[in-house]
Structure 1
C-alpha cells in the first residue's frame, strides 16, 4: 500500500513536469489579472518620478532615506503582484485529494530538484548572455544610437541618491528573480504549453517578459534572457535553475554598475 501511494505521487510529479494544472484560457486570464494592474502601478510610479526635479544635485540624507523607504515599499509591492495569481492557481485550485496542498502547489510551479550538472548549463548561458549584451552595446555605439537603458538610469541614481540606489540594487538581486520566475516561468510558460508547441511557449513568454521591463533599449537582451530562463524551465522541469541564472545575471549587472559608478567617481 505504501509503495502504491509513493508511485501515485511520482506519477503526479511527472505529470506536472509536462503539463500545468491550469488551462491556456486560465493562463491568459491570469496574465491579464496580473499585468494590467502591474502596468498601471508602474505607469503611476513613472509619472510620479517624472514629476520630481531632474537635477543631478545629490539629495540630502533625509530625503534620500525617505525615497529609499518609498522605493522599497512600492517596488516590493509591485513585484509581489507577480505572486498572487500563481499562488492562487497552484495552491487553491482543484487538486488530487491524495496529494497535500503544499506539495501540489510547489510541484505545479516548478519548485523541484534538478541535477547538479545543470549548474554548468546555467553558467554557460550566463556567459552567452553577457557576450550578447556586450555585442549589442557595441552595435549601439557603432550606430550612434543614444538609447538610455534601465542600468544607466540606476547608475545616474547612484550619483545623487546612494541610499535609494542600494535599495534598488537589493530589490533587483534578491526580490525580482524569485517573483518574476514564479510568474513568467512557473505560471505563464507552463500554462502556454497547454495550448501551443514548446518553441512558441518559450518565445511568447520571453516576449512578454521583455516587454514588462519598460526598457526598449534593452529589449533584445531581455528577450534572450527570457528565452534562456524558459529553456531551463523546459529542459529541467524545475524553476530553480532559472532563478539561479536570473540571480547571477542581476548580480553581475549590479557588480558592473558599481564598478562603473566608483570608477567614474574616482576620476
Structure 2
C-alpha cells in the first residue's frame, strides 16, 4: 500500500505538471504532444501487429493488412482525448461531439448529402462516357454494404473528432479561424501520406480542400461535428462500396486527371467539383440545417 500511495502521488504530480505545461504551451506544442502520446501508445500494438502480418517498413501495405493496424490506432484517439479531458483541459463537447439526438440528425443529413454528391458526380461521368457500370458485379453489393458502412462511420467519426474537433479547436485559440482551418486541413491531408505515398500525393490538394469543407460543415452545424461526420462517412462509404464491389470501370476517353489519378476521385477534377459543390451547398443553406 505504501508503494501504491507513492505511485498515485507521483502520477497526480506528473499529471498536474503536464496540465500546467500544456496550458502555458503554444497551441502547436499541444497538438504535437497529442500526436506523440497517441503514436507512443499505439506503437507496441503496431509492432506486434506488423510481426503477425509479416509486414516490414518500406513494404506496401495490402488493404487486408491496414485494418489490423488502423483499428487500434483509431480506438486509442478517443482515449487520449479522454485523458486530456480528465486532466481538466477540455471536454468532448468543446470539440463538437455532443451527446444528444441533434448529432444523429446532423449525421444523417451529412451522410445523405455526401452520398448524393457522389451519385451526381458519377452519374455525370456515366453520361459523358467517362466510366461505365459493371452490372455483373452488382450481386456483390448486399454483402459489403453493412461492413463498409460500419468502417465508414468509425473512420469518419474518429477523424472528425481529431481533425475538425481537437486540432481545429486548439488552433482556433491562437490563430484566426481561417488560419486554423488551413493548418488543420493541411495536417489532415499530409498525414494520409503515412499509409501510402504514391497514390496519395496526387490527392493532397483534394484532401486539403475536403478538410476545409468539413470545417465549413462544422460551422454549418453550429459548432457540432454531426454534419462533418456524416459527410466524411458518406464519402468513405460510397467510394469503398464502389471500389470493393468493382462497380465501375473508367473508359480512358479523357485524362485520368479528370476522373481521378490512380482511380482516386480526390485526385481528379470530378472529385474536386464534388467537394466544391458540397461546400457551396453548405454555405448557401447552412441557416436551414
TM-score interval for Structure 1 and Structure 2 normalised by the shorter chain: 0.5 to 0.7
What residue ranges of structure 2 are gaps of 5+ in the alignment?
A: 1-21, 125-129, 131-143, 194-199, 251-289
Tell me the residue number matched to 1:175: 154
Give the drift of 1:134: 10
Change beyond 3 A, Cα 1:127–1:262: closer
Give the drift of 1:247: 0.8
Residues 30, 85 of structure 1: 8 Å contact kept: no
Instruction: Output the CA distance in 1 between the equivalents of 2:61 and 2:113.
Output: 43
Q: Which runs of 4+ in 1 moved over 3 A?
A: 22-27, 34-41, 43-47, 49-54, 70-73, 113-135, 168-172, 261-264
Question: 2:225 aligned to 225, 229, 239, which one?
Answer: 239
Residues 107, 228 of structure 2: 8 Å contact kept: no
Alignment coverage as a number of residue pairs: 193
Instruction: Output the CA distance in 1 between the equivalents of 2:106 and 2:229.
Output: 16
Give the drift of 1:23: 5.8
Higher mean displacement: 30-39 or 114-123 = 114-123
Give the drift of 1:50: 4.3
Change beyond 3 A, Cα 1:51–1:197: closer
Q: Deviations over 1:57-112 (max 9, x none)?
A: xxxxxxxxxx95x6544221222343244222234316xxxxxxxxx723222123
Give the drift of 1:119: 6.0
Tell me the residue number matched to 1:222: 207
2:24 pairs with 1:29? no
Instruction: Output the CA distance in 2 between the equivalents of 1:132 and 1:220.
Output: 18
Residues 188, 207 of structure 2: 8 Å contact kept: yes
What residue ranges of structure 1 are gaps of 5+ in the alignment?
A: 1-21, 55-66, 95-103, 136-140, 142-164
Tell me the residue number matched to 1:195: 174
Give the drift of 1:245: 1.0
Change beyond 3 A, Cα 1:250–1:31: same
Question: 2:73 aligned to 72, 78, 85, which one?
Answer: 78
- For the residue of structure 2 that corresponds to 1:237, the secondary structure is coil
Alignment RMSD: 4.6
Change beyond 3 A, Cα 1:261–1:33: farther
- For the residue of structure 1 that corresponds to 2:173, the secondary structure is coil
Give the drift of 1:199: 1.1
Change beyond 3 A, Cα 1:84–1:134: farther
1:58-137 matches, cutoff 5 A: 68=64, 71-93=66-88, 105-112=91-98, 114=102, 123-124=112-113
Change beyond 3 A, Cα 1:24–1:182: farther
Instruction: Output the CA distance in 2 between the equivalents of 1:25 and 1:130.
Output: 45
TM-score, normalized by length of structure 1?
Answer: 0.55
Instruction: Output the CA distance in 1 between the equivalents of 2:95 and 2:214.
Output: 14
Q: Deviations over 1:187-220 (max 9, x none)?
A: 1101111111111111111111011111212112
Structure ranking higher on relative contact order (CA contacts 8 Å, 6+ apart): 1
Instruction: Output the CA distance in 1 between the equivalents of 2:122 and 2:173.
Output: 32
